[in-house]
Amino acid sequence: MSLLVLRAALAIGFLIDFVVGAVSLLAPQLLQPLFDVPIKDLMTAQIAGGELVVAALVYALAFRDPARFRTLLWICALDQLFAVVLPSLGIARGDLPGTWKVVAPIPFQALLALLFVVYAVRRTPSPQPT
C-alpha cells in the first residue's frame, strides 16, 4: 500500500472528525437532523465536539509526516474503532436508531481503523548507506 492511500485515509478521518466536531461544538442541535444522533444534553455534545476537533488535529499532524508521526496512527485507529463500537452498542441497546446515516459508516470506519493499524505496525525500510 502506498503513502497516497494512507494520506487519503488520514484526510478522510480528519474530515469526519472535524465536521462532526464542529457541528457538535457550534450547533449541537443539528446532530439529530444531520446525523440521526439524538442529543440529551447539549453541553455534553459540545464537549465531545471539542474532543473531536482535537482528534482531527491528530489526523492533520499524522498527515503531515506519516513516517515521523507513525505512533499517532494508533490514536487514529482507536478513534475509528470507537466510531465502530460505540454506535454498534448504541443500536444494540436501542439508544441509537438503526438508520442508514448511523449504520452505513460503520464498515467504512472499520476499514479505516484496520488501515491505520497496518501502517502503524509496518516498518519503514532504513536508508541504505552510500
Q: How far apart are CA 24 and CA 90, in angstroms?
A: 18
Q: Per the structure, how many domains does the chain have?
A: 1
Asked whether the beta carbons of 112 and 13 are under 8 A apart, the reply is yes
Predicted confidence (pLDDT) per residue in 25-76, tens digit = 999 999 999 999 899 999 999 999 999 999 999 999 999 999 999 999 999 9
Cell of 118: 497496518
pLDDT on residue 97: 86
The model's pTM = 0.88
Within-domain flag for 127:
no
Backbone conformation region of residue 3, classed left if phi is above 0, alpha if psi is from -120 to 50, else beta: alpha
Residue 45's contacts (CB-CB under 8 Å, 6 or more residues apart) are: 24, 28, 31, 39
Q: Which domain holds residue 10?
A: 3-121
The amino acid at residue 8 is A
Within-domain flag for 47:
yes
